[in-house]
Amino acid sequence: MTDYGLDLAIIGNGRTAALIEPGSRITWWCFPRFDSNPVFCRLLGGDEEKGFTDVVLEDLANVKSDYLRNTPVVVTTLTDGKGGLVRITDFAPRFQNLDRIYRAPQLIRIIEPVAGLPRITIRFRPAHSYGHPITRHALGSNHIRYWGDNTQLRLTTDVPLSYVEGETSFVLSRPLHLVFGADEPFPAALAPTCRDFFDRTCGYWREWVRRLNLSYDWQEAMIRAAITLKLSNFEETGGIIAAHTTSIPESPGTGRNWDYRYAWLRDAYFVVKALNRIGATQTMEDFIFYILNVVSEDKDSLRPVYSVVPTDPMDEWVAEKLKGYRGDGPVRVGNAAAAQTQHDTYGSIILAAMPMFFDRRLPRMGDETLFRLLETLGHKAERFALTPDAGIWEYRGRQRVHTHSVAMCWAGCNRLAAIAETLGLRDRCVYWNDSADRIHRTLVEQAWNEKRQAFTASFGSDDLDASVLLLHELGVVDADDPRFVKTVTAMERDLLRGKHVMRYASPDDFGMPESAFLICRYWLIDAYWALGRRAEARDLFVDSLQYRNRYGLLAEDIHLQTGELWGNFPQTYSMAGLILTAMRLSRSWEDRYWRG
């Protein structure tokens, strides 16, 4: 089949998620949860035809694939050379049921004949243990059981089982239904249940989107980004993963292959901020529940990243049976960043939780108990603010006093003062303001580099880093502060490549970076907007939208020469950046309809 690259769609329900190619192949599915073993692993299989399911149309002539409007339901149409047409609908069920959300770790596929007498083959080739094909299976009356080591999977279907088992081609003359999930009996009539689940899932998502508070411009892009962020929230615990894949390289042949199926507390802050901005506050409330479990362990310091079940180990190892994305390994499982020191984490959590104390829409507001818990993080921010760490970009071979990390520690203390004031805790307000002031004085003095005429990546360094573009957003400096204006100029000179923005342009543990980081462009656009460079900001934003794939999704990185998406996918950082920048730049409804 065609190599579609990262032209993939995601379906999911807050418990499980899968990636689908335009030709119908489900190429990645971790089962039963986001960071589990991938039973469909073809995305990282190199040239090996294992770990996938698809529908192969004989004499294929045309493929169309897109989301149903305002849902994460994918509809693919395959047309053959005689005009025969097949429609394939893929989704993960999610809907309100008995005052709860039904979100079983299931995928549902409906295959329908639309025109002619199309002849298809259904291929189902699951894997286990990161790349080992499942060879053991058993046929039941209306299902096939597959098992290997700790993986057990059931395909329940009204397709003739012999056709599936033998990958036999047949004429599609009636609608067919396939349910992929746990090895347990399907509890109802298959066809009507799949149809009911489809209707209720579409209804759930359309109602969810209807409640979003969006400005006028770029609504379609924001809606798709918002749904994608919601699909990255593991609702059982409240954890928010950075992306749904592992080891898609940041750029080809670099070895920058990492497992992002985990909850970085920093990334979660950006996701919560973006969803709060458009009125989807439930994810923040879920995340606070997750944080309570992390912070209450009362360790000396927080890890920057946790599993969606915070107590699960994250030891990093290489899956030898998977060749990697386009054969570009290694494929890593787990992430050694869990052992790193990254001080911006403390501020990230406090900033993510801050709306709990100020957003009057919430059914349960933050109280003094939550504030006291956040204070334990504030004390760590005080303690570690001016000490070396691995930084936002997680350098594996060095530690420095990174400007962004110090800024986030300052922001945490600063916001604690604001929370204390609103709770009427005057003494704590004074305390945290004093702490913030001490950090701030050192930050603006030590981060400024007179030779470079910019705030630099770390104290005493000449390196530039796009993360310092957030200094204005965080409130460290005003937009019209001459030092910030000069910093933006320095970024344009050193980090801008055409219209793409590098994270940094100095060697790291793996050499010189070769790709641009998509969220950094949004940070630069936000800086332009704050500086009054409004036309430049809008032009740069509109240009960024062309790099979304056909489904409106973004990865982490972009290749400077080809414009191809690289890095783990879909990347919450990038989708959150799109929402936040779009909301900032967009015209209001009043501007559009009453002012022209």
Please write the tens of the pLDDT for every residue from 545-570: 999 999 999 999 999 999 999 999 99
Contact 281, 355 (CB under 8 A): yes
- The pTM score is 0.96
Alpha helices per DSSP H over 385-505: 403-422, 426-446, 470-474, 482-494
Report the pLDDT value the prediction gives residue 1, as an integer from 0 to 100: 40
Q: Give the confidence band of 512 by pLDDT, cuts at 50, 70, 90.
A: confident
Please write the tens of the pLDDT for every residue from 306-325: 999 999 999 999 999 999 99
Place of tokens 């219209």: 499
- Cis ω for the linkage preceding 570 (within 30 of 0): yes
Report the pLDDT value the prediction gives residue 510, as an integer from 0 to 100: 80
Residue 29 parent element (H or E): strand 26-30
Contact 566, 514 (CB under 8 A): no
Strands 52-57 and 38-40: unpaired
Report the pLDDT value the prediction gives residue 4, as an integer from 0 to 100: 65
Query: Tokens in use for 344?
Result: 């911006």
Second CATH level (architecture) for the domain 211-594: Alpha/alpha barrel (1.50)
Domain boundaries, the chain: 9-208, 211-594
> Mean pLDDT score of the chain, rounded to an integer?
95
Please write the tens of the pLDDT for every residue from 169-193: 999 999 999 999 999 998 899 999 9
Contact 58, 79 (CB under 8 A): no
Q: Give the confidence band of 133 by pLDDT, cuts at 50, 70, 90.
A: very high
Q: Enumerate residues 6+ apart whose C-beta is below 8 A from 131.
A: 41, 44, 45, 50, 51, 319, 320, 321, 322, 331
pLDDT exceeds cutoff 90 at 301 = no
Report the pLDDT value the prediction gives residue 585, as an integer from 0 to 100: 97
Burial 446-457 (b: 16+ CB within 10 A, else e): bbbbeebebbbb
Longest dimension (CA), the chain: 79
Please write the tens of the pLDDT for every residue from 251-281: 999 999 999 999 999 999 999 999 999 999 9
Domains 9-208 and 211-594 share a fold: no
Residue 372 parent element (H or E): helix 368-384
Place of tokens 């073993």: 37
Query: Tokens in use for 229?
Result: 């962020």
Please write the tens of the pLDDT for every residue from 578-589: 999 999 999 887
Please write the tens of the pLDDT for every residue from 12-48: 999 999 999 999 999 999 999 999 999 999 999 998 8
Alpha-carbon distance 217 to 220, whole Å?
A: 9
Express as a percent the part of the chain with pLDDT over 70.
98
As a whole number, mean pLDDT of residues 410-422 equals 98
CB-based burial of residue 74 (10 Å sphere; 0-12 exposed, 13-18 middle, 19+ buried)?
Answer: buried
Domain 9-208 sits in CATH 1.20.120.420: no
Question: Is the Cα dihedral 302, 307, 312, 315 positive or negative?
Answer: negative
**What is the CB neighbour count within 10 angstroms for residue 588?**
12
Report the pLDDT value the prediction gives residue 592, as an integer from 0 to 100: 66
Report the pLDDT value the prediction gives residue 460, as an integer from 0 to 100: 95
Place of tokens 């409004």: 534
Express as a percent the part of the chain with pLDDT over 90.
89
Please write the tens of the pLDDT for every residue from 340-380: 999 999 999 999 999 999 999 888 899 999 999 999 999 99
Q: Give the confidence band of 110 by pLDDT, cuts at 50, 70, 90.
A: very high
Q: Which residue has the higher pLDDT, 505 or 452?
A: 452
